[in-house]
Amino acid sequence: MQISNAYRPNSVFAPADAGEVPRVFIAPQRYIQGKDVLAHVGRYLSLVRVRRAAILISAGGESRHGRRLTDSLRAAAIDSVVCIFGGECSLEEIETHTRALKTQNIDCVLAVGGGKCVDAGKALAFRLDTPVVVVPTLASNDAPCSALSVLYSPAGISIGIEFYPRSPALVVVDTGIVAAAPERFLVSGMGDAMATWYEASACLRNSAAATTVGARPTLAAVAIGEVCAKTLFSEGIAAAAAVADNRVDASLEAVVEANTLLSGLGFESGGLAAAHGFAQSFTAIPQANANHLHGEMVAMGALAQLVIEQRLDEARRVAGFFVQVGLPVHLEQLSIESGDAAALATIVEAALAFPFIGNMPMKIDAAVLRDGLLRAHELGASVRERAGDAAYRRLHAD
């Protein structure tokens, strides 16, 4: 099984002979967020007219949330079959579930879990030609609202991106579940979301930049990215404290929306750049991949991007916020030695191969990427030295 070529958005929105590239905005049909909304998923599915749904969920997620979910579906006269997600959004995992469900008369896939489960659910729904309903149980990344999946090897190394012609039919976020999850996941989502504004603004400044579907960024998406960053700066610390106390409040609701909806809309219709290029390249370093979350890697990538753009004051501002909430600001906090020449070469090579690295509004080569990453490391270490790293140590205490 290979990454699907059945849908290539560039051929729809930006074929080579089509002339000027249009602006394209992409979004799910409905976004629903609030405390205890999981109990009402069956009612929300009336919008999709579902009779028999496949629920893709981890074993732990099924034990925690399965009963409420299936009860809600049953109350809405919706039959369901549960598929246990193995933990990696790999082609092997996707193919296993596709084969199992081919004869099950499924008319909807519910992807319930974290980012990799969500992405696997989107890939599964595409292969079954059914709508996908995304029910994230974490606010750790911006995967839920997008019409694409990041695919990994069984060992967890990023191998590419797969695109879909339809966005999720519904995205349902129960903030009570998010509040009960470890604080580190919400904080990781802030790292992923913070990059949205900086990557979209870089794409807007580069007249040749293209979004994930080959289109030009929209002003709406860039504005959403800016609101996303402002929300994190103003509410992020309070939201992290709310999750530490397992409670839902206005700050948590704001940051969950920023991490999930604002960041999801912003990156897909605003564009990616060096921040995610570095983040995906960090997965090639085994110790970083094994010990750190996607949003933590994006945080370090965002600092490197800002340094490459010579936006040093903004990089210090962002690093200061990251230190306060517990995100990495230097390479050692990603289990990478700054003096490891082989690791740096691997990271730079992978970042240079990132499909959207050319969205940066300046010439990018290996020397620029290496220098930017090392200078960001030094800047972050300086900020951490002044402010301390108590939040980071607390989140990584185990």
pLDDT at 1: 47
Element (H, E) at 186: helix 183-205
Non-local (6+) Cβ contacts of 151 within 8 A are 3, 89, 90, 91, 119, 123, 158, 159, 160, 161, 162
pLDDT at 17: 77
Asked whether the whole model's pTM tops 0.85, one would answer yes
**What are 199-212's pLDDT values in tens digits?**
999 999 999 999 99
pLDDT at 2: 64
Question: Across the strands, what pairs with 84?
Answer: 57
Non-local (6+) Cβ contacts of 306 within 8 A are 198, 312, 314, 315, 318, 376
Strands 52-58 and 30-34: unpaired
String of DSSP letters for 234-245: HHHHHHHHHHHT
Mean residue pLDDT of the chain comes to: 95
The rounded distance, in Å, linking the Cα atoms of 169 and 213 is: 19
Closest CA to 237 of 175, 298, 326: 326
With vertex at residue 229, the alpha carbon angle to CA 158 and CA 292, rounded to the nearest 5 degrees, is 30
pLDDT at 254: 98
Alpha-carbon distances of 20 from 17, 137, 200, 207, 216, rounded to whole Å = 9, 40, 20, 11, 10
User: Six-digit token pair at 83?
Assistant: 């598929």
**What are 74-125's pLDDT values in tens digits?**
999 999 999 999 999 999 999 999 999 999 999 999 999 999 999 999 999 9
pLDDT at 55: 97
Going by pLDDT thresholds of 50, 70 and 90, the confidence category of residue 168 is very high
pLDDT at 160: 85
**What are 245-278's pLDDT values in tens digits?**
999 999 999 999 999 999 999 999 999 999 999 9
Element (H, E) at 282: helix 274-282
**What are 283-336's pLDDT values in tens digits?**
999 999 999 999 999 999 999 999 999 999 999 999 999 999 999 999 999 999
Non-local (6+) Cβ contacts of 260 within 8 A are 33, 136, 139, 142, 144, 145, 171, 173, 189
